[in-house]
Amino acid sequence: MCSSDLEISGIDRTGLVNRITDVITKELNINMQSINFQTKEGLFEGEVRMKVFNKEHLDVLIRKIRKVKGITRSEERRVGKECRSRWSPYH
Going 74 to 69 to 67 to 72, the CA torsion angle's sign is negative
Task: Read off the pLDDT of residues 48-70 as tens digits, 9 standing for 90 and up.
Answer: 999 988 888 889 999 999 999 99
Residue 89 pLDDT exceeds 60? no
Provide the whole-model pTM. Answer: 0.81
Would you say 4 and 79 are in contact if contact means Cβ atoms under 8 Å apart?
yes
Sign of CA dihedral 64, 69, 75, 79: negative
Kindly state the average pLDDT of the residues 8-21.
94
**Average pLDDT taken over every residue of the chain:** 88
**Is it the case that residue 26 has pLDDT exceeding 70?**
yes
If residue 83 lies in a helix (H) or strand (E), which one and from where to where? none
